[in-house]
Structure 1
C-alpha cells in the first residue's frame, strides 16, 4: 500500500490509500488485469480503525468527486462506508503553503503528482504543489487560485505526451495570473521519467531542460510545407486555406462553426484525392470514406460529439451526379446541418428497450471535407472553403506520396499541431476574430481566422487575404452558374445597351424588345429553351417574379414591359459590381488582426486568378431547360 496525505476543503485532512486488487470476474470473459483502487479515509483515534469515507476505482474517480454514489464497497476495513461524497472536494496538494508563498510574490513549483511535489520540495527547498489528477486531468481552478500572484512558477512535467500537454495547459491557464511560467523536464531518456526519477539519478535542479514556448506560426509553416511537397495548388491562397482548415480540426470543441472544405476539379487526376489523403495524416481523428449511408454518417458524427472526428468524403460527385436522389438529399442536409453548432441536428425515431419508438436527435456538428469532380450543390458550397484544383503541368514536379513512409513524419507534424492547439481549446472557446467578410462567408472563415490569430506572425495577414480573394472567386463562380443571377445580369446589360444607343438612361423596356436582347447571344443558357425559340415572355416573368420584379404597362397603357427601377434593388442585392467582377474583390473590409490593431489586412492587390476559376464555370450552353414550375433561384446543372 502507498499512503499519501491529501487536503480536503472544509474537512479534516484525509489520507488516500492506493493499492491494487484483483478485478471482478465477468461471466463469459477472462479476468481483467488488476484494478488500481483509491481508498479515501479519515484517521480516527486509533490508526488501525480509520473512518472510511469512500472507495473507488480509477475509472469512477471523476464521478465520485462530483458527488455521485460510490461503487460497491470493498470488504469493511473499519467503521464502515459513507453513502456518498457530498461536501468532499479534493484540493491542491500543499495548496495552503502555496497561497502563502504566492501572496508574498514568491516562487512555486508545480508537479504532476504528490510524489513529484514532495521530491521537488525536498531538493529545491521551494514550495511545491501538485494538482489532483495530475497531467491526465483538466487544470482545476483551485490550483490557479493557489499560485495566483507568484512571481515565477516552475512546471516540472513528465517525459511523455501527457506531460507535454500538461505543461502547455498550465502555461496557458496561468497566463495573466502569475509573473512568469517556465516549463521544465528531465533530460533522462526514459519515457515517463519525472522529477523524482531525475533526483534519484543524481541530477540536480540545474540539470532540468527548459521546454520552449510553442511557436504556432512555425507549426503552420510546417503544415503548409508538407502540403506543398505533395500537391500543387493553383493559388497560394488555397495553400493557406487548407493549412488553416487542417489546424482547425484540432480545436473542434472550441469552435462554433465547422466550415466544409470543398476540393473539386474539372477532370480526374487533378490532385483532389491527394489533398484528402495528406489531410488524413495531419487532421485530428480523421475518418475517410468514399461511400457512406446517411444513417451511418449521422450516427458516427453523433457518437463522437465530445471531440468530433474529421470526416473526409471522397468521390462526392458520384453521389450528386444523378440529380436529387433521396440519398443525395439526405447527405446534403446532413452536411449542411453539421456546419453550425447551434443547428437542430438530425431527428429520427429509435426503438425503445421496452417496445415502441421515441424520437432522438443526433448531433452532427464537426469538420467535414468533400472531394470530387465539379462542385457539390450550392448549399454545401455556401458553407465551404472552396479549393479548385487543376491537373499538374508537365514542367510541375511534386514528391510522390508514399503513405507507408510519409505518414511517419506527417504524424510528427500532426502531433505538433495537437500539442500546440489541444491545450488551447478552453482558451479559444467563444473567440470571435475580426473578419474582413460578413454574413455566411464570415461564419465560414471564422474558425480559420481563430487559428491564424493564435499562431501570429504573418498568418493573420495571410488568412485575411485568402478569405477576401477566395470568397470573391466563389461568389463570382456562383453568380456565373445560377440562372437567376445570369438573367439579372443579362437584363442589366440590356438596359445599358439600349441606353447607350439612345444616349439617355432607359427607364422602360418593352417585353418584346427585352426578349430580343436576351435571346440574341448564341451562348445564352436559355438559347435552346422551348425547342430553340429561347426565352419566352411567360418564362421571363416567372423567373423574375422570385426577385419581386413583375411586368407593367407603359405610361400610355399600350405596351407591357419592365421598369428599370424594379430591377435596381435586385441588382444591388444579388449581383457583384463591375469593380468586383473585374478585380475579383469584395466590398472593402476594414478588419485587422489583434497584433496589428491599426493595420488593415486586406491587401490592395488581392485579385482572383482567372485561370484558377475559369474552369469552375459550368458550361451554360448545356444548361437544361427548367420545368414550367421552376423557381428563379434554380441553379444551372451540367
Structure 2
C-alpha cells in the first residue's frame, strides 16, 4: 500500500538524525508497508497514517480514533491474506496483544463470516444433487435387475457381484431406514482390475456420492456429520492400515449411533461434541482390509479383464446424465417402500454370525420387498460369503488348524514345538511365512492364543515333560468362536479329511461337543425363503 511522506523530513530521505549528531545511513530506506513505517518512524506515525489509508476496502477503514479491539478484528478479518500480513504486527502492538493471539482471533471471525471470500486457497464447496422421484410407481424386481444390468455392462464381475452391487446401491438411498449398513469392500490382487471404474459407476448411481483417495479423519467425520453422504474411498491400501483414527471411524460407522468425540471451541469455551460416523461406505484397494473392518464388509474381488472380454466404455462426462432416469426410479421406489423396509424383520440364515446378520439384514429386507428371485439369491450370496475362508480372521483359522492337527495325529496332547512344525507343514496356510516371510514360532503361537485364554503348560508325553497343549484346552474356544455351524466354513488343509467335532476317542466323544444333525446337513442344501408381505405400493 502506498504511504504518505512522513512528517518532518519526508519519506524519500535516505538518512535519519540520531542522538549525538550521528547519522545512520540507510540506502533506499523507503517503507513499503506499515511494518516498515513502524521500524523507520515509530508507532505514532503508523497511528497517524492508518486511519487515513484508502487503499483497502471500506471494511478495513478506521473511521475514528476510538476503534476498539473487537471492531479492529472484524475489519482485519475482511482483508485479503496478503493485506492482513502487512499490518498484523502493527495492529497487534497497537492493541498490546501478541501477534499469534491476534491471528487466532482473526481466523475465528473469518470462519464465522461463513466463507464469504471465494478462491482456490479455500477449496470448493461440497454439494450434492438430489434427483426428483420418478412420476409413476416402480416395480422393485425390475428396478434391481436394471441396476444389475448397468454394472454387468461396464465391468467383468465375479458371479453374483452385480446382484450385491444392485442391492447395495439401492440401500444407500435407504440409509435413514437401515439398522446397519454393510461396507462394500472392492479388492483386487493387482492394479488395473477395474476398481476405479466400479467406483466411477457407483459415484454416478448411489445416494450423495462423495469419492476421495485421501482425507484426514477430522474432514471425514465432519462431512458425514453435515451431509451424511455415501463415501467412496479409493486407494485405501495406501493409507488405511497406518491410520488408527480413520480405522476407528470405520469400525464404529456401520451403525446409526456410530460417532466420535471431539473438543470444539464454542463462544470461547471448550465443549465436547459428538460427530456422526454413520453412513454407507465403499472401500477400494489392493489386498485385505483390517479384520475389524472386513467383518463389517461385503467383499467383491475383481480380476483383470482379458482381451476377449468386452465391456462398454465408461464416459465420465456423460454417465451421470445417462443414469439420471435410473436414479429417479430408485428414489421413487424407495419413497414408496422405505417405511415397510424400516419395519421389516427379514428371515436370517442360521449360519450367519451376529455381526454378519447385521451386515446383511437391510439387503435381505430390500430383496424381500422387491420380490422375484431376489430373496433367494441374496441369501445364497450371504451364505457363500460366509463360507469364504478369506472372511475368517487368522485366529479362527488357527483354532481350526490346531484341531486338525489333533485329529490327524489322533492325540489328545502335543508339545509346542511339534504343534508349530505341524502348522508350518500346511502348504495352503500362512503359518510358514507368518511374519515378514518367516515361519510362526512357539512364542508367536502363544501370543495368538492368548486372547482365548489358552496357555502352554507342562505336558507329559512319555518319556518327556515339556511345554505343550492339551486338546481339552481348546474346547471352550472351539464352541464359542468357531462354533458348530461356522466350523464347516473353515477350509481344511489340502488333502486332509477330518471332522471338526469328531473326538479322537471315537465313540467316547462327549455329548456336549456333538453338533446337532441340522447343523451338519444345513450346509449341503439351499434353504427356501418366502417373501413377507410388504405394504409398499409396488413389488
Q: Same fold per TM (> 0.5)?
A: yes
Distance in 1 (alpha carbons) for counterparts of 2:353 and 2:435: 40
Match of 2:304 in 1: 391
Decide which of 479, 484, 493 is 2:404's aligned counterpart.
493
Distance in 1 (alpha carbons) for counterparts of 2:254 and 2:312: 34
Distance in 2 (alpha carbons) for counterparts of 1:533 and 1:250: 47
Q: Is the CA contact 2:134–2:329 (under 8 Å) kept in the aligned structure 1?
A: no
Match of 1:439 in 2: 354
Decide which of 340, 365, 368 is 1:450's aligned counterpart.
365
Decide which of 545, 564, 586 is 2:471's aligned counterpart.
564
Bigger relative contact order, structure 1 or 2, given CA contacts below 8 A and separation 6+?
2
Q: Is the CA contact 2:213–2:234 (under 8 Å) kept in the aligned structure 1?
A: yes
Q: Is the CA contact 1:264–1:372 (under 8 Å) kept in the aligned structure 2?
A: yes
Match of 1:357 in 2: 270
Q: 1:424 to 1:520 in 2, by over 3 A?
A: closer
Q: Is the CA contact 1:255–1:430 (under 8 Å) kept in the aligned structure 2?
A: no
Distance in 1 (alpha carbons) for counterparts of 2:437 and 2:164: 43
Q: Is the CA contact 2:151–2:201 (under 8 Å) kept in the aligned structure 1?
A: yes
Match of 2:210 in 1: 287
Distance in 2 (alpha carbons) for counterparts of 1:522 and 1:455: 45
Decide which of 514, 530, 535 is 1:593's aligned counterpart.
530
Higher mean C-alpha displacement, 420-429 vs 356-365? 420-429
Q: Is the CA contact 1:472–1:586 (under 8 Å) kept in the aligned structure 2?
A: no
Decide which of 454, 459, 480 is 1:549's aligned counterpart.
454
* 1:155-554 → structure 2 map (5 Å cutoff): 161=132, 164=135, 213-235=137-159, 237-304=160-227, 308-320=228-240, 323-324=241-242, 328-343=243-258, 345-353=259-267, 355-436=268-349, 437-473=352-388, 476-479=389-392, 482=394, 484-499=395-410, 506-520=411-425, 525-527=430-432, 534-554=439-459
Distance in 2 (alpha carbons) for counterparts of 1:349 and 1:440: 31
Note the C-alpha offset of 1:163: 9.0
Note the C-alpha offset of 1:371: 0.8
Q: 1:366 to 1:455 in 2, by over 3 A?
A: same
Q: 1:464 to 1:538 in 2, by over 3 A?
A: closer
Note the C-alpha offset of 1:399: 0.6
Distance in 2 (alpha carbons) for counterparts of 1:427 and 1:588: 30
User: 3-state DSSP class of the match of 2:220?
Assistant: helix
Distance in 1 (alpha carbons) for counterparts of 2:330 and 2:433: 53
Q: What is the TM-score normalised by the length of structure 2?
A: 0.63
Q: 1:382 to 1:535 in 2, by over 3 A?
A: closer
Q: Deviations over 1:487-530 (max 9, x none)?
A: 3333223222322xxxxxx1122334334433445776454689
User: 3-state DSSP class of the match of 2:235?
Assistant: coil
Q: 1:242 to 1:532 in 2, by over 3 A?
A: closer
Distance in 2 (alpha carbons) for counterparts of 1:559 and 1:407: 71
Q: For structure 1, which runs of at least 5 residues remain unmatched after alignment?
A: 1-27, 29-159, 165-210, 500-505, 598-638
User: 3-state DSSP class of the match of 1:359?
Assistant: strand
Match of 2:9 in 1: none
Q: 1:536 to 1:285 in 2, by over 3 A?
A: closer
Distance in 1 (alpha carbons) for counterparts of 2:254 and 2:245: 15
Q: Deviations over 1:7-30 (max 9, x none)?
A: xxxxxxxxxxxxxxxxxxxxx9xx
Note the C-alpha offset of 1:381: 0.9
Note the C-alpha offset of 1:220: 1.0
Note the C-alpha offset of 1:428: 2.6
Distance in 2 (alpha carbons) for counterparts of 1:533 and 1:219: 51
User: 3-state DSSP class of the match of 1:366?
Assistant: coil
Note the C-alpha offset of 1:380: 1.1
Decide which of 475, 487, 491 is 1:581's aligned counterpart.
491
Note the C-alpha offset of 1:545: 2.7
Distance in 2 (alpha carbons) for counterparts of 1:513 and 1:162: 66
Distance in 2 (alpha carbons) for counterparts of 1:380 and 1:311: 15
Note the C-alpha offset of 1:249: 0.9
* 1:126-141 → structure 2 map (5 Å cutoff): none
Note the C-alpha offset of 1:347: 1.0
Match of 1:22 in 2: none
Note the C-alpha offset of 1:532: 9.4
Distance in 2 (alpha carbons) for counterparts of 1:532 and 1:399: 41
Higher mean C-alpha displacement, 395-404 vs 566-575? 566-575
Note the C-alpha offset of 1:578: 4.9
Q: Deviations over 1:454-500 (max 9, x none)?
A: 11111111111111112222xx1143x62x3443333223222322x
User: 3-state DSSP class of the match of 1:357?
Assistant: strand
Structure number, greater radius of gyration? 2
Q: Is the CA contact 1:433–1:450 (under 8 Å) kept in the aligned structure 2?
A: yes
User: 3-state DSSP class of the match of 2:452?
Assistant: coil
User: 3-state DSSP class of the match of 2:348?
Assistant: coil
Q: 1:507 to 1:369 in 2, by over 3 A?
A: same
Q: 1:375 to 1:526 in 2, by over 3 A?
A: closer
User: 3-state DSSP class of the match of 1:492?
Assistant: helix
Q: 1:364 to 1:579 in 2, by over 3 A?
A: closer
CA-atom RMSD in angstroms: 3.2
Q: Deviations over 1:44-93 (max 9, x none)?
A: xxxxxxxxxxxxxxxxxxxxxxxxxxxxxxxxxxxxxxxxxxxxxxxxxx
Q: Is the CA contact 2:420–2:442 (under 8 Å) kept in the aligned structure 1?
A: yes
Distance in 1 (alpha carbons) for counterparts of 2:142 and 2:273: 44
